[in-house]
Structure 1
Amino acid sequence: MKKIRATVRRKIHKAGSIIVGNRRPVTCTVHNLSATGAALSIRQSSILPDAFVLVLEMEHRRRPCDVVWRRGNRIGVTFAR
Protein backbone atom coordinates (compact mmCIF):
# COMPACT_ATOMS: atom_id res chain seq x y z
CA MET A 1 0.00 0.00 0.00
CA LYS A 2 1.46 3.34 -1.05
CA LYS A 3 1.59 6.16 1.50
CA ILE A 4 0.29 9.53 0.34
CA ARG A 5 1.97 12.52 1.92
CA ALA A 6 0.85 16.13 1.99
CA THR A 7 4.35 17.38 1.09
CA VAL A 8 7.44 15.91 -0.58
CA ARG A 9 10.22 14.59 1.66
CA ARG A 10 13.89 15.09 0.80
CA LYS A 11 16.42 12.56 2.07
CA ILE A 12 19.30 14.39 3.68
CA HIS A 13 21.97 13.67 6.28
CA LYS A 14 22.68 16.99 8.01
CA ALA A 15 23.46 18.19 11.51
CA GLY A 16 20.89 19.88 13.68
CA SER A 17 20.40 20.94 17.29
CA ILE A 18 17.45 20.42 19.58
CA ILE A 19 16.70 23.16 22.10
CA VAL A 20 14.53 22.54 25.15
CA GLY A 21 14.03 25.58 27.35
CA ASN A 22 17.30 26.92 28.75
CA ARG A 23 19.14 23.59 28.57
CA ARG A 24 22.24 23.01 26.51
CA PRO A 25 21.39 22.12 22.87
CA VAL A 26 21.31 18.41 21.99
CA THR A 27 22.98 17.41 18.72
CA CYS A 28 20.90 15.42 16.25
CA THR A 29 21.03 14.20 12.66
CA VAL A 30 18.26 15.18 10.24
CA HIS A 31 17.54 12.21 7.93
CA ASN A 32 14.68 13.60 5.90
CA LEU A 33 12.95 16.93 5.66
CA SER A 34 9.74 18.34 4.21
CA ALA A 35 7.86 21.60 4.52
CA THR A 36 5.80 20.09 7.34
CA GLY A 37 8.23 17.92 9.31
CA ALA A 38 11.39 15.84 9.61
CA ALA A 39 12.87 12.54 10.78
CA LEU A 40 15.70 12.87 13.29
CA SER A 41 18.04 10.64 15.23
CA ILE A 42 19.65 11.37 18.58
CA ARG A 43 21.42 9.26 21.16
CA GLN A 44 18.61 9.29 23.72
CA SER A 45 15.28 10.15 22.13
CA SER A 46 13.46 9.18 25.32
CA ILE A 47 14.87 12.22 27.17
CA LEU A 48 13.15 14.65 24.81
CA PRO A 49 9.79 16.19 25.64
CA ASP A 50 6.95 16.09 23.11
CA ALA A 51 7.68 19.66 21.97
CA PHE A 52 10.99 21.46 21.35
CA VAL A 53 12.79 23.76 18.92
CA LEU A 54 14.86 22.29 16.07
CA VAL A 55 17.73 24.35 14.68
CA LEU A 56 18.65 23.24 11.18
CA GLU A 57 22.34 24.03 10.75
CA MET A 58 22.07 24.25 6.96
CA GLU A 59 19.30 26.84 7.16
CA HIS A 60 20.30 28.73 10.34
CA ARG A 61 16.63 28.65 11.23
CA ARG A 62 14.65 27.66 14.33
CA ARG A 63 11.53 25.55 13.92
CA PRO A 64 9.16 24.71 16.78
CA CYS A 65 8.38 20.96 16.61
CA ASP A 66 5.93 18.44 18.00
CA VAL A 67 6.94 14.77 18.20
CA VAL A 68 4.57 12.49 16.26
CA TRP A 69 6.44 9.17 16.61
CA ARG A 70 9.42 7.58 18.41
CA ARG A 71 11.28 4.40 17.39
CA GLY A 72 14.49 3.66 19.24
CA ASN A 73 16.86 6.58 18.69
CA ARG A 74 14.74 8.04 15.86
CA ILE A 75 11.87 10.47 16.10
CA GLY A 76 9.46 12.02 13.64
CA VAL A 77 8.38 15.61 14.12
CA THR A 78 5.88 17.95 12.60
CA PHE A 79 6.68 21.65 12.45
CA ALA A 80 4.35 23.69 14.65
CA ARG A 81 2.75 26.70 13.06
Structure 2
Amino acid sequence: MSIPTENENRDEHRQRVLKGASILSGVAASEVKCTVRNQHRNGAELKVAADSRVPQEFLLYIPVDGIAYKCELRWRRGERLGVMFTGTEAKPHWHYG
Protein backbone atom coordinates (compact mmCIF):
# COMPACT_ATOMS: atom_id res chain seq x y z
CA MET A 1 0.00 0.00 0.00
CA SER A 2 1.49 3.35 -1.01
CA ILE A 3 1.20 6.52 1.02
CA PRO A 4 -0.15 9.52 -0.95
CA THR A 5 2.12 12.52 -1.20
CA GLU A 6 1.36 16.21 -1.69
CA ASN A 7 2.99 16.09 -5.13
CA GLU A 8 0.30 13.82 -6.56
CA ASN A 9 -2.08 16.77 -7.00
CA ARG A 10 0.42 19.04 -8.73
CA ASP A 11 0.30 19.67 -12.46
CA GLU A 12 3.93 20.75 -12.60
CA HIS A 13 7.12 19.83 -10.80
CA ARG A 14 8.32 22.62 -8.51
CA GLN A 15 12.03 23.35 -8.57
CA ARG A 16 13.60 23.61 -5.12
CA VAL A 17 14.96 27.08 -4.45
CA LEU A 18 15.93 29.14 -1.43
CA LYS A 19 15.17 32.81 -2.08
CA GLY A 20 14.43 35.64 0.33
CA ALA A 21 11.22 37.47 -0.52
CA SER A 22 8.59 39.89 0.80
CA ILE A 23 4.81 39.60 0.85
CA LEU A 24 3.43 43.07 0.03
CA SER A 25 -0.22 44.04 0.21
CA GLY A 26 -0.10 47.83 -0.17
CA VAL A 27 1.66 50.99 0.91
CA ALA A 28 -0.13 51.15 4.29
CA ALA A 29 0.16 47.43 5.04
CA SER A 30 3.15 45.91 6.74
CA GLU A 31 5.63 43.78 4.85
CA VAL A 32 5.90 40.09 5.70
CA LYS A 33 9.33 38.56 5.13
CA CYS A 34 9.32 35.04 3.76
CA THR A 35 11.41 32.40 2.04
CA VAL A 36 10.55 30.84 -1.33
CA ARG A 37 11.18 27.10 -0.87
CA ASN A 38 10.17 25.83 -4.30
CA GLN A 39 8.82 27.45 -7.43
CA HIS A 40 7.55 26.83 -10.94
CA ARG A 41 6.10 29.15 -13.58
CA ASN A 42 2.57 29.04 -12.07
CA GLY A 43 3.23 29.13 -8.34
CA ALA A 44 5.43 28.56 -5.33
CA GLU A 45 5.66 27.33 -1.79
CA LEU A 46 6.59 29.94 0.80
CA LYS A 47 7.72 29.75 4.41
CA VAL A 48 6.59 32.48 6.82
CA ALA A 49 6.45 32.84 10.59
CA ALA A 50 3.50 30.77 11.85
CA ASP A 51 1.78 33.84 13.29
CA SER A 52 2.16 35.98 10.12
CA ARG A 53 -0.98 37.48 8.65
CA VAL A 54 -1.12 36.86 4.91
CA PRO A 55 -3.96 38.24 2.76
CA GLN A 56 -5.77 36.17 0.14
CA GLU A 57 -4.18 38.24 -2.67
CA PHE A 58 -0.82 40.01 -2.54
CA LEU A 59 2.44 40.83 -4.34
CA LEU A 60 5.40 38.56 -3.73
CA TYR A 61 8.56 40.55 -4.38
CA ILE A 62 11.67 38.44 -4.95
CA PRO A 63 14.69 40.79 -5.10
CA VAL A 64 17.01 38.27 -6.78
CA ASP A 65 14.45 37.91 -9.62
CA GLY A 66 13.66 41.65 -9.69
CA ILE A 67 9.99 40.75 -10.13
CA ALA A 68 6.83 41.21 -8.09
CA TYR A 69 4.54 38.23 -8.67
CA LYS A 70 0.80 38.79 -8.22
CA CYS A 71 -0.28 35.90 -5.99
CA GLU A 72 -3.38 34.18 -4.77
CA LEU A 73 -3.14 32.14 -1.58
CA ARG A 74 -4.17 28.53 -2.34
CA TRP A 75 -3.42 26.76 0.96
CA ARG A 76 -1.73 27.22 4.32
CA ARG A 77 -0.35 24.69 6.80
CA GLY A 78 1.32 26.40 9.76
CA GLU A 79 4.30 28.27 8.38
CA ARG A 80 4.00 26.86 4.84
CA LEU A 81 1.94 28.57 2.12
CA GLY A 82 1.06 27.51 -1.40
CA VAL A 83 0.50 30.36 -3.85
CA MET A 84 -0.61 30.60 -7.46
CA PHE A 85 0.94 33.29 -9.66
CA THR A 86 -1.68 35.36 -11.51
CA GLY A 87 0.71 37.82 -13.19
CA THR A 88 3.82 39.92 -12.69
CA GLU A 89 4.75 43.56 -12.41
CA ALA A 90 7.83 45.65 -11.79
CA LYS A 91 9.11 46.22 -8.26
CA PRO A 92 6.65 48.54 -6.52
CA HIS A 93 8.06 52.08 -6.45
CA TRP A 94 7.12 52.44 -2.79
CA HIS A 95 9.04 49.35 -1.67
CA TYR A 96 12.48 50.24 -0.33
CA GLY A 97 14.11 46.78 -0.77
Q: TM-score range by the shorter chain?
A: 0.7 to 0.9
Equivalent of residue 14 in structure 2, options 9, 15, 39: 9
Contact 2:73 2:81 in 1 (8 A): yes
Runs of 4+ aligned structure 1 residues displaced above 2 Å come to: 4-8
TM-score by length of 2: 0.73
Q: Which has the higher strand share?
A: 1
Q: Distance in 2 between matches of 1:57 and 1:12?
A: 14
C-alpha deviation, 1:9, in angstroms: 1.1
Uncovered stretches (5+) of structure 2, i.e. residues with no partner: 88-97
**RMSD over aligned Cα, in angstroms?**
1.8
Q: Between the two structures, name the one with larger relative contact order (CA 8 Å, sep ≥ 6).
A: 1
Higher Cα radius of gyration:
2
Between the aligned residues of both structures, percent identity stands at 33
Aligned positions, number: 81
TM-score by length of 1: 0.86
3-state secondary structure, aligned to 1:6? coil
